[in-house]
Amino acid sequence: MNNIKTMSNEADLAIKKANSFIAYRPRSISEVENKLLLSFNENVVKNVICNLIEQGILNDLRFAKLWVTSRCLSNQKSTQYIKYELKQKGISDENIEVALSEVDNDENAYNAGAKKIKALTNLPKEISEKKLESFLRRKGFNLSTTKSTIKKLLEENE
């Protein structure tokens, strides 16, 4: 009887900790599970995670879609870069594919480059090109996407 009460108290503490962790930003199931495992035993964590999934608080597909939207709107990262980030957060390949299904990588590159090129207008063309290329490559865009985006942006800004 005393053991059940202790387990219940631990579960309550784990739920509070999970809710506090989730309050900052949406989290993947894996992120919450890893955080809770630092403080609680595996059985408690498993029960809390199941509870949070059943309540709809944790949902990896919803998390992946939110992550993709955020990364495309605010940072214009490449789909490869976003895919890598989601993998690191424990999202399944299926959920990653669904979340990325409507993302246009070329459009993301163009939007990122369009913002950056404004800051490079006073530089010589060769330097602007190099800076733009390294900027897009750091965002995870492959060489062909980077080159075509730069060509398009330079043509528009001549």
Q: How far apart are CA 123 and CA 115, in angstroms?
A: 15
Averaged confidence pLDDT in the chain: 89
Kindly provide the b/e burial profile for residues 26-63, where b requires at least 16 CB atoms within 10 angstroms of the residue's own CB. bbbbbbbbebbeeebeeebbebbbeebeeeebbbbeeb
User: Could you give the 3-state DSSP secondary structure of residue 92?
Assistant: coil
**Confidence at residue 2, expressed as pLDDT on a 0 to 100 scale:** 36
pLDDT digits (tens, 9 = 90+) for 90-131: 999 999 999 999 899 999 999 999 988 888 888 888 998 999
Task: Quickly state the pLDDT bin for 16 (edges 50, 70, 90).
Answer: very high
**Confidence at residue 122, expressed as pLDDT on a 0 to 100 scale:** 85
Structure tokens at 96: 């990653």
Query: Going by C-beta distance under 8 Å and a sequence separation of 6 or more, which residues neighbour residue 58?
Result: 22, 27, 28, 29, 32, 49, 52
Query: Does position 7 have pLDDT exceeding 70, yes or no?
Result: no
Q: What is the mean pLDDT of the segment spanning 11-16?
A: 90
- Virtual torsion, Cα 57, 58, 61, 66, nearest 10 deg: 70
Task: Quickly state the pLDDT bin for 54 (edges 50, 70, 90).
Answer: very high
Which pTM does this prediction carry? 0.83
Task: Quickly state the pLDDT bin for 149 (edges 50, 70, 90).
Answer: very high
User: Could you give the 3-state DSSP secondary structure of residue 40?
Assistant: coil
Give which of 80, 75, 120, 130 is closest to 100, Cα–Cα: 80
Share of the chain above pLDDT 90, in %: 73
Q: What is the mean pLDDT of the segment spanning 136-150?
A: 94
